[in-house]
Copies of this chain bind each other. A is one copy, B any other.
Amino acid sequence: MTFAISKTASQIAPFRVMKILAQAKALQAQGRDIIHMEIGEPDFASPSCVHQAAQNAAEQGLTHYTATLGLPALREKLAQFYDGFYHAKVNAEQLVITPGSSSALQLVLTAILNPGEQVLMADPTYPCNRQFVHLLHGEVYSVPVTADSQYQLTLDHLKQHWNPQIKAVMVASPANPTGTLIEQAELLKMAQFLAQRDTYFIVDEIYQGLVYERPAESILAHQNLPQNVVVINSFSKFFGMTGWRLGWCVVPEHLIDVLDRLGQNLYLSAPTLSQYGALAVLESDALTELEQRRQIFQQRRNRLYAAMQSAGFTLKTLPQGAFYLYWDVSEYTQDSERFCAALLQQTGVAITPGTDFGKEAGKSHVRLAYTNDRIEEAVQRIQGFVEQYR
């Protein structure tokens, strides 16, 4: 008897970071001292105001399903947040609350992509983006990008690669795994270029707010934005609510109804107490706490960058947001998975191989997440480790 797995599912790649994490935890259980720089998750717990708000809601018995599009009060408050924080006028109707930004990405791609159609994205990129397209039987049109464009897509890339099979282009600013940004003027030109070609532009802003030496910015602040722009966001990163599984997307009006119908079927509603918690994290007291956390991440970025430079490592980009440093290790290896496995085994420093994020340069790049405060110690260990490759 053979009970088969579907062809598409059998080809879905695992997160390599999860394998590194499992190995790191196994070593830790053996008593080894591990420095975790593999995980894309702030080391802080969620702000205590979130816990309090969730508890209050539970005590009032507010534990039932919400509307699929989200608690009306949360959609309203998030619209006000866009106004105050990003100077962006967003209609609450266009805000769709989802169980994490993973669901938002899946929902939006499911709403627009037919089998065989292409989605253009950078290599490197957030790994799930490719998998969502595969699951919908679409095709990933992968454009290799380098440090010359801060590992980001540009208008020139779109001009060079756009074709009529492309239904959507996906970018992230700040990006995972690179922490780099796309300037707003460039983003707007890309949106307009694609709008003229009936192509959606999906802008992942889940690390927005976590930007350094510049204000937080959203493409939604532009007036007369074309109707092809979809913004993905999350309460996980800037707001520090990872385990609460809450995200959202901001969509043009013509997508609201189809997202509602898809959401009803795919997940019914986002977690209720997380939505009440999110109401609290949008209050000014919480935002003050989040600003302090942002400053800590900025200091860590500066410390990591300085330590890496002092260690004699070549860094091609200065990350401007998120909590990642993408490091070209081609002078040491063309096998980043083996490099990361050996680094963990020999030194106890856990980092992520670039192969999670792309084929092209993934084998010669790694990602360091500064979600751990033992930065200088980690760099020292790495410095000792790479001696064997010199």
Contacts and interface: CB of A to CB of B under 8 A. Distances in A.
A4 B198 contact: yes
Q: Give the one of A13, A99, A112 with max B CB within 10 A.
A: A99
A315 interface: no
Contacts of A269: 243, 245
A70 interface: no
Contacts of A131: 265
Nearest to A228: B3
Given A258-B12, A266-B102, A271-B274, A113 B6 contact: yes
Interface in A16-56: 18, 41, 45-46, 50-51, 54-55
A63 B241 contact: yes
A289 to B, nearest CB: 14
A309 interface: no
Interface residues of A, number: 79
Nearest to A103: B267
Contacts of A50: 58, 63
Interface string A253-285: 011001011101111111111100000000000
Contacts of A252: 3
Contacts of A132: 265
B18 A41 contact: no
A128 to B, nearest CB: 5
A112 B265 contact: no
Contacts of A255: 5
A387 interface: no
Nearest to A272: B243
A198 B41 CA distance: 41
Nearest to A9: B111
A262 B5 CA distance: 12
A15 B243 contact: no
A198 B1 contact: yes
A2 interface: yes
A242 B51 CA distance: 19
B9 A258 contact: yes
Interface in A186-207: 195-196, 198, 200
Contacts of A266: 102-103, 106, 135
Which 6 A-B pairs give the minimum distances between C-beta atoms?
Answer: A243-B272, A45-B61, A51-B58, A46-B63, A131-B265, A63-B243
6 contacts: A50-B58, A51-B59, A65-B243, A100-B267, A128-B265, A244-B271
